[in-house]
Amino acid sequence: MRTDDLIHFCPPARLIMGAGARAQLPSLVSYLGFRHGLLVTDPFFSTRTPWVREYVDEAAREGVETFVFDGGVADPTTTLCDDATVQIHAALGGRVPDHVIALGGGSNIDLAKALCLTLREGRPVREFVGTSAAQRPLPLIALPTTAGTGSEATPGAILVDPSNATKVAVMDNALRPQIALIDPEFTYTCPPNVTADAGIDALTHAIESYLTTDSSVYDRAEHPDPGYSGRSSITMTFARESIQLCARYLKRCYDDGTDTEARAGMCQASVYAALSYGSAGLNAVHGIAYAVAGLTHRSHGTTNAVMLPYVLGALTGTRRTELVELARIFGIEADDDRAAIEALCRRVRTLIASVGIPTDLRALGVPRSALPALTQDALAVTRLAKAFPVPNVAAAYADVVQRAFDGQIGKTPVRVHATSA
């Protein structure tokens, strides 16, 4: 029990999970009074799976009309969102749908979240970047097809601004889905590389939120309805369960995509991680990974994976007890805490390598000369940097980046006495 917690916890309004659960959706949508919907997906799901047509036909039998937009892409841009807004308005004759359904990975769900805002008045999505949503978004129903991003339980939509190739966020608790429906059968189509990327993303979400800044001291900027508010006993409970599931099922899922028990386990791991980080927030792994992705254009899961073991090592001085707990989850028993933590870092790195993901920055093609600029770019993501629970964030970031380049685990973290960044 953490009696000093200041809890602000915002899960989806409805969470439905189980193999075949998608069959429940048409009748539920009708029961809730929706009649004119938009389904956001991509060409793979609209043309190569039966799921879109099955839903549209069954929803029609329930009295719900559904327009399908299948222009989703990986890393959707603000331009795509604005173009889709115009296209959908034209196709619907100016009528605004009364709900939006997202079918796909995190990219499709992010696009759908943004459209929940832009479709009301046709305003460009840039007007919502960096601010509260302000106006009421359309109700969102999220059907994730990967086990990793957790977008079905989080308050933000991430888009790429093509004018400068940076990622921008639209953030508001009102963007959390009204219904998050997790059907493990959706993930059966995921190839091994997608399974690995998504699975490591889920593990990263769970570990980062388990170790992040406490809710009692988290900087909420006096926001009355913060999207992220630090770790608490609630978020840590979900994170711990997610980590246990990832330790048990991630490699199994990667090795055999037909292992339905492992697929279900990783779907649960992804949701539990999202319920944790969706309120607690993240920190250095994602902060540095964003900078690595900008330099290498590698996937989100891969860039997270490369940084994760080295960030863990940097927390030895401030999260020793929790790191030893994580070591036990991974089956590591050691009398000495430092030995247990070092073994944990190595075990996580071994897991990453076992699912075909590089384990150091050199393997991603990052030159040594790029490290200072990479570190500064990572520190510029201030909402993540300031949540990293170490005495000196700037020095810790520089040390982590250097270790990740050298592939160096186990050395004593750099001790610095300057104020944190």
pLDDT in tens, 244-260: 999 999 999 999 999 99
Torsion of CA 364, 365, 369, 370, to 10 degrees: -50
Token pair belonging to 169: 């966020």
Token pair belonging to 170: 């639209």
pLDDT in tens, 115-130: 999 999 999 999 998 7
Phi-psi domain of 83 (left: phi exceeds 0; alpha: psi -120 through 50; beta: other)? alpha
What are the boundaries of each domain within the chain? 14-188, 191-406
Q: What is the pLDDT of residue 390?
A: 97
CA–CA gap between residue 144 and residue 217 (Å, rounded): 33
CA–CA gap between residue 386 and residue 391 (Å, rounded): 10
Is the pLDDT reported for residue 131 higher than 80? Answer: no
CA–CA gap between residue 173 and residue 211 (Å, rounded): 23
What whole-number percentage of the chain has pLDDT above 70?
96
Average pLDDT, the chain: 94
Q: Strands 166-171, 156-161: parallel, antiparallel or unpaired by DSSP?
A: antiparallel
Q: Strands 179-182, 65-69: parallel, antiparallel or unpaired by DSSP?
A: unpaired
Sign of CA dihedral 29, 30, 34, 37: positive
Give the 3-state secondary structure of residue 157. strand
Q: What is the pLDDT of residue 168?
A: 87
Mean pLDDT of 221-243: 96
Helix ranges (H only) for 233-355 are: 233-255, 260-280, 284-296, 300-314, 320-329, 337-354
Q: What is the pLDDT of residue 1?
A: 63
Which residue type does 217 have?
V
- What is the per-residue DSSP string for 246-272? HHHHHHHHHH-TT-HHHHHHHHHHHHH
CA–CA gap between residue 263 and residue 256 (Å, rounded): 9
What's this model's pTM, rounded to 2 decimal places? 0.94
Distances from the Cα of 296 to the Cα of 82, 86, 286, 303, 374, angstroms: 27, 33, 15, 9, 11
Contact 38, 72 (CB under 8 A): no
Mean pLDDT of 280-292: 96
Instruction: Let me know if domain 14-188 sits in CATH 3.40.50.1970.
Output: yes
CA–CA gap between residue 56 and residue 202 (Å, rounded): 30
Is 419 exposed, middle or buried, given 0-12, 13-18 or 19+ CB atoms closer than 10 A? Answer: exposed
Q: How far apart are the first and last CA of the chain?
A: 31
What superfamily in CATH does domain 191-406 come from?
Dehydroquinate synthase-like - alpha domain (1.20.1090.10)
CA–CA gap between residue 388 and residue 385 (Å, rounded): 6
Token pair belonging to 118: 């832009």
Q: What is the pLDDT of residue 134?
A: 56
Is the pLDDT reported for residue 69 higher than 50? Answer: yes
pLDDT in tens, 178-211: 999 999 999 998 999 999 999 999 999 999 999 9
